[in-house]
Chain A
């Protein structure tokens, strides 16, 4: 059983490292205001036709309910039924970068870097960049 646990742990460690490997090219160099570009693999691989960023969602908190323009009794109700077990999560954004469009504009420019974040809600990848879209 111990060997199995160690084996699984090693497997996760290796996969995690492999998935985040490319982020090491920029992770310790990037600074706020830098221009972020798409990895050039997007323009070589015919399987990749678009690149979709993500938005971060957070669970509704009592303080958020206070700012809602609803009646007081509705606020009390929402707070009484508040699910506090929710965790932040990433969902695909409403915008997409089409590879064809990037070729037309002759640029892989994605947006302006704002900061880093490490979120564990989307598989093994935990190196995320926060950015303002181009």
Chain B
């Protein structure tokens, strides 16, 4: 993980753009 000088990880979590997320399995895998 490329962390710039002066920064540290905020927490153990990961983040994703909410527009890329769905609450259901993609149709291709249903």
Chain A interfacial positions (CB closer than 8 Å to B): 19-23, 25-27, 29-30, 34-40, 42-43, 51, 53-60, 64, 83, 86, 88-95, 103, 106-111, 113-114, 116-117, 119, 125, 127-133
B9 touches A39 (CB 8 A): no
Query: Could you tell me the distance between the alpha carbons of A50 and B6 in the complex, rounded to whole angstroms?
Result: 29
B22 touches A38 (CB 8 A): yes
Chain B residues with CB under 8 A of A26: 18, 21-23
Number of A-B contacts (CB under 8 A): 142
Instruction: Using A91-B1, A111-B14, A125-B17 as known contacts, say yes or no to A37 and B24 having CB atoms under 8 A apart.
Output: yes
Chain B residues with CB under 8 A of A90: 15
The interface size of chain B toward A, counting residues with CB under 8 Å, comes to 27
Tell me what chain B mostly uses at the interface: helix, strand, loop, or mixed. mixed
B15 touches A56 (CB 8 A): yes
B9, B15, B26: residue with the most chain A Cβ atoms closer than 10 Å: B15
- Give, as a whole number of angstroms, the nearest-CB distance from A111 to chain B: 7
- Give, as a whole number of angstroms, the nearest-CB distance from A34 to chain B: 6
